[in-house]
Amino acid sequence: MKAILLAVALCAMQFVSAQIRIISQDKVRKATDIEVADSSLQFNTQSVDFGTIDEMSGVWQGSAKLRNLGADTLVVTQVKSTCGCLKAEIAKRVIAPKEEVVVALRYYPRGHAGRVRQRVLLYANTSSEKPSALLTLTGLVIASADRSDDYPYSRGALHLRQDTVRLSGEREVLRVAFMNGGSTELKLAANANLLPKGVKVRFEPSQVAPKGEGEMVVEFVPTTEKLPTTLGKIYIEGLNLPPRQSAIDVILKN
More confident residue, 51 or 25: 51
Class of residue 108 by CB neighbours under 10 A (exposed 0-12, middle 13-18, buried 19+): middle
CA-to-CA distance for 141 and 155, rounded, in angstroms? 26
Chain-centroid distance, C-alpha 106: 14
Would you state the pLDDT for residue 146?
63
Confidence category of residue 113, pLDDT binned at 50, 70, 90: confident
CA-to-CA distance for 66 and 90, rounded, in angstroms? 9
Q: Write the CATH number of the domain with boundaries 148-252.
A: 2.60.40.10
Task: Average the pLDDT over each of 7-16, 102-111, 185-194 and give the range with the smallest value.
Answer: 7-16
> How do residues 58-101 score in pLDDT, each as one tens digit?
899 999 999 999 999 999 999 999 888 999 999 999 999 999 99
Q: Say whether 148-252 and 32-142 share the same fold.
A: yes
Would you state the pLDDT for residue 153?
94
Cα separations (Å) of 24 from 30, 40, 248? 10, 15, 44
Q: Write the CATH number of the domain with boundaries 32-142.
A: 2.60.40.10
Would you state the pLDDT for residue 33?
66
Asked whether 52 and 140 are in contact (CB, 8 A), the reply is yes
Average pLDDT in the chain? 84
Asked whether 158 and 239 are in contact (CB, 8 A), the reply is yes
98: helix, strand or coil: coil
Would the pTM of this model clear 0.85, i.e. be above it? no
- Could you tell me if residue 81 is left (phi over 0), alpha (psi between -120 and 50 degrees) or otherwise beta? beta
Asked whether 151 and 181 are in contact (CB, 8 A), the reply is yes
Identity of the residue numbered 175:
R
Is the pLDDT assigned to residue 24 strictly greater than 50?
no
Q: Which residues contact 224 (CB under 8 A, 6 or more apart)?
A: none
Residue extents of the structural domains in the chain: 32-142, 148-252
Confidence category of residue 105, pLDDT binned at 50, 70, 90: very high
> How do residues 162-207 score in pLDDT, each as one tens digit?
999 998 888 899 999 999 988 899 999 999 999 998 999 999 999 9
Closest CA to 199 of 252, 128, 136: 252
Would you state the pLDDT for residue 19?
32
